[in-house]
Amino acid sequence: MSKEFNVEGLCLPEQHYMVSIGKQLEEIKALVDKGKYFTINRARQYGKTTTLHALKHKLDREYYVFSISFEGIEEEVFANADSFCIRLFGLLYDTIAFDEVTGVPAEIKEKLHELSLGNSSKSDFRTMTLMISYMCKKMNKPLALIIDEIDQASNYRVFDTFLGCLRDMYLKRGKRPTFQSVILAGVYDINNLKAKIRSDKEHTTNSPWNIAADFTVDMSLSEDGIRGMLREYEEDYLTGMDIPYMASLIFEYTSGYPYLVSKICKLLDERVTGSEGYPNKAAA
């Protein structure tokens, strides 16, 4: 199957023309290696999900990476601690059941499955933290947790409590096993969510996510990276385009915003014939 430019969700290197994000992945992995907890908050269609997908594959050799998403979770899941923890156990179990995480001991897989069905006498946050510590103790590689689309949970107090549990485990990690790294991804900065879930009368200056490291990785696409993507396209289609010039134009128009870069390239691919028309039609 021939490659194409993609503007509809997750980009896969075997299916889509993509700018290499190897440098960004190395910088993010360095945070994970240092045991940092952090949030990736960027605007819609800025490549967060694609970056997280690639990051998981990069980390897999050294870590058990549980990559889950809160997208599409029903409102009733956030009604109380029990329903939230049961769904969380289910999301973790699904990554094992669908071979997204491999090599997990059978006893842990069975216990997660049991907890995900709500068969335990209680599925509260204490159960959750004990299970996480048990997993981290028994598994032979460090664990990393990635949660995408956290904005779906931002209006619920139970999520605030969940963050508090992660914070407590982080602060006690010298004594009790826990995740090597936790990465939350969404549009909004998690440190500001407290303003949405707490009333004005409550103390709002101490976010439960104040353990998070600053995330300063530049996720915009570089002109050099765009040039490399166009070079790959040119090798397939031999249009005769002036690759450095086109890359410069696209970067100038988009400032490296991933969606806009892909959208312009997609329009060029589908609507332009001959390299002489590229600059004007790209500008249009």
How would you write the chain as a 3-class SS string? CCCECCCCCCCCCCCECCCCCHHHHHHHHHHHHCCCCEEEECCCCCCHHHHHHHHHHHHCCCCEEEEEECCCCCHHHHCCHHHHHHHHHHHHHHHHHCCCCCCCCHHHHHHHHHHHCCCCCCCCHHHHHHHHHHHHHHCCCCEEEEEECHHHHCCCHHHHHHHHHHHHHHHCCCCCCCCCEEEEEECCCHHHCHHHHCCCCCCCCCCCCCCCECCCCCCCCCHHHHHHHHHHHHHHHCCCCCHHHHHHHHHHHHCCCHHHHHHHHHHHHHHCCCHHHHHHHHHC
pLDDT tens digits for 62-87? Answer: 999 999 999 999 999 999 999 999 99
Please compute the mean of the pLDDT values over residues 171-182 and round it to a whole number.
96
* Structure confidence by residue, pLDDT tens digits, 142-168: 999 999 999 889 889 999 999 999 999
pLDDT, residue 198, reads 53
- State if pTM tops 0.85: yes
Give 183-241 pLDDT, tens digit per residue. Answer: 999 987 766 655 455 555 554 446 788 899 999 999 999 999 999 999 999 999 998 99
Q: Which residues pair with 182 in a beta bridge?
A: 145
Quote the mean pLDDT of the chain: 90
What is the residue extent of each domain of the chain? 22-197, 223-283
Domain 22-197 class, CATH top level: alpha beta
The pLDDT value recorded for residue 191 is 65
pLDDT for residue 53 is more than 80: yes
Confidence of residue 282 (pLDDT cuts 50, 70, 90): very low
